[in-house]
Amino acid sequence: MKLALVGTGNMGQAIERLARQQGDEIVARFNTAHPLPIEADVSVLNKADVVLDFTLPHIVRAHIDAYCRWRVPSVIGTTGWYDQLDEVQRQVEASGAALLYAPNFSLGIALLKYALQQLLPLLERLSDYDVYLHEVHHTRKADSPSGTALMLAHLIVDGLSRKKRIETETQHGRIAPEALHVTSTRAGQVFGRHTIGICGPFDELTLEHNAYSRDGFAAGALQAARWLIGRRGFFSLDDMLNEWLLSKTNPS
């Protein structure tokens, strides 16, 4: 697999290291010192099979415009632009390009999400149990709350009728019972920790994902890139995982 890396920070470096171990080739690199020339033609990608973009929210939208124009498959790990998902989906589909996005490429987070989806129908019947969400990341994290935290929060609000909205601000008084409190901490070098607390009158259940390194995210991003090659359309990581699940339940 020939890869173009857009963003060669810590995440880009982890992807490159793991890609080389797997026998993949990095054929183009772009970063702050050598920005992606979005007005150029696709030749700037040096015949890459797929682009992996881990940059910043304020520039990724222009990058997506270029990927659609070039019709090159792109894996987008940048967060902070999800208020434009519908618009980007229409653009990708109209252009005949292929794009896969995820707020978190960790397969451990995918397992956490799956477990939460199974719990929510039960929690719907257990009205005494309240839910909160807390995330911790390193001090260089660009967005707060994290895209992963917001993804999990929306999953809870959509699946639990007594939670009507997400509240991300510090509470200086009583919080409304219909608000899901989502809080953030930025400290040190923490790769990423997401905790879902389910608090009942007599006990508390905690679901937590704690990333040891960026390699788990890099592995998931490379799996997504391999899956995306040869496809057309707008995808999330769920589409890849659901295809895997379907193939296991229907082996024929």
Domain map of the chain by residue range?
2-105+215-249, 107-210
Residue 248 reports pLDDT greater than 70: no
Whether residue 217 is predicted with pLDDT greater than 70 in this model: the reply is yes
Average pLDDT of the residues of the chain: 94
Reference 91, options 123, 115, 113, 67; nearest CA is: 67
Please name the fold of domain 107-210. Dihydrodipicolinate Reductase; domain 2 (3.30.360)
Which of 2, 63, 138, 141 does the annotation list as catalytic? 141
154 is a catalytic site residue: no
Is 47 among the catalytic positions?
A: no
Average of pLDDT values for 151-176?
Answer: 96
Q: What percent of the chain has pLDDT over 90?
A: 85
What is the average per-residue pLDDT within 192-202? 97
* pLDDT band for position 251 (cuts 50, 70, 90): low
Is-contact 126 102, C-beta < 8 A? no
Cα gap 227→52, rounded to integer Å: 13
What percent of the chain has pLDDT above 70? 97
Is the model's pLDDT at 244 over the cut of 80?
A: no
236, 100 Cβ separation under 8 angstroms: yes
The candidate with the shortest Cα–Cα distance to 135, out of 146, 123, 119, is 146
- Rounded Cα distance between 99 and 89, Å, is 9
DSSP 8-class letter at 122: H
What does the pLDDT read at residue 31? 95
Catalytic annotation, pick one of 137, 163, 181, 194? 137
CATH dotted code for 2-105+215-249:
3.40.50.720
Mind listing the pLDDT tens digit for each residue in 79-136? 889 999 999 999 999 999 999 999 889 989 988 998 999 999 999 999 999 999 999 9
- What pLDDT, on the 0 to 100 scale, is given for residue 70? 98
pTM of model > 0.85: no
Reported as a single tens digit per residue, the pLDDT across 46-89 is: 999 999 999 999 999 999 999 999 999 999 999 889 999 999 99
Sort residue 229 into left (φ over 0), alpha (ψ -120 to 50) or beta: beta
